[in-house]
Amino acid sequence: MTSSAARVTVPQLEVMKREGRKIVVATAYDFPTAQIADEAGVDVILVGDSLAVVVQGHETTLPVTVEQMLYHTEMVRRATQRALVVGDLPFGSYQQGPAQAIDVSVRFLKETGCDAVKLESGPRQMETIEALVGAGIPVMAHVGLKPQSIRSLGAYRVQRSHNVVDDAKAAEQAGAFSIVLECVSSEIAREATSQLAIPTIGIGAGPHCDGQVLVFHDFVGLTAGRTPKFVKKFADVRSLIRDATAAYCDEVRRGAYPDADYSYE
């Protein structure tokens, strides 16, 4: 690794908001991608339950388990030197209440070495956030579109209700150190960001948030098929990898690889 800077901390994120410095967040799921993100200067790496879709090939985030999230979070934490690492609490791991959430979150911090946990937040999670923070566990809350509630929502839609702002303020009051705003209108995101003392991290929430998060596979162009409107592809890595693999197949089939340069005497 090339980075030698001190690890980003939760209090530093609030300082960045006060100073108007944008916070860069990426979602990564394994050692090599997290290492690349860390070396590139990403401030926060979220090990998202979106790995159920991106890595495992499921249609929703619901199937991923606690054990799988711990496995991936531990890999990511081992890869990083600077970025603050947040483990995502999967569906079913905190909905039963504070005691369950604390038990699972303690496992995240102890077994993976991550710095914080994230949960999808609403009125029913305020007591849980308070309990986690009271137990010394930093919490990133998630409001707006909440993928773990897809069975209730019915579809992934942009959220334009001012309830999003209320949910964000309630999570802040409960002790969350930052708020992910997913798929909300730019105006709602602007309002939430202006009313909160803690950082807002947008994903499909426009330019007014204190920071932005995208999935690593999306912004480097590894994801196949259609991606949401808010995803900007900064590279086309999928094509590069496909071309390299095709060249490998061709050389093996022609007997061109391995030649003497790649063989032992």
DSSP string covering the chain, please?
----SPPP-HHHHHHHHHTTPPEEEEE--SHHHHHHHHHHT-SEEEE-TTHHHHTT--SSSTT--HHHHHHHHHHHHHH-SSSEEEEEPPTTSSTT-HHHHHHHHHHIIIII--SEEEEE--GGGHHHHHHHHHTT--EEEEEES-GGGHHHH-S---B--THHHHHHHHHHHHT-SEEEEESB-HHHHHHHHHH-SSPEEEESS-TTSSEEEEEHHHHTT---S---TT---S--HHHHHHHHHHHHHHHHHHT-SS-GGGS--
Rounded Cα distance between 68 and 47, Å, is 11
> Mean pLDDT of all residues in the chain?
95
pLDDT in tens, 188-209: 999 999 999 999 999 999 999 9
Please name the residues in contact with 162: beta carbons below 8 A apart, sequence gap of 6 or more.
188, 191
- Residue 1's pLDDT band (boundaries 50, 70, 90)? very low
Residue 245, both tokens: 């693999």
pLDDT at residue number 2: 44
Q: Give the other-Cβ count within 10 Å of 216's Cβ.
A: 23
Q: Is the pLDDT of residue 160 over 60?
A: yes
Q: Give the residue numbers annotated as catalytic, written as ranges.
A: 182
**pLDDT at res. 4:** 56
pTM for the whole thing? 0.95
Q: How much is the pLDDT for 157?
A: 82
Contacts of residue 190, defined as CB under 8 A and 6 or more positions apart, other chains included, come to 206, 208
Evaluate the omega torsion of the peptide bond into residue 138 and state whether it is cis, within 30 degrees of 0: no
Question: Residues, the chain, total?
Answer: 265
In this prediction, residue 151 carries a pLDDT of 84
Q: What is the mean pLDDT of residues 89-113?
A: 98
**Long-range Cβ pairs for the range 108-112 (8 Å, 24+):** 108/69, 108/70, 108/73, 109/137, 111/70, 111/74, 112/70, 112/73, 112/74, 112/77, 112/85, 112/87
User: What pLDDT is attached to residue 217?
Assistant: 98
| Average of per-residue pLDDT across 38-63 | 97
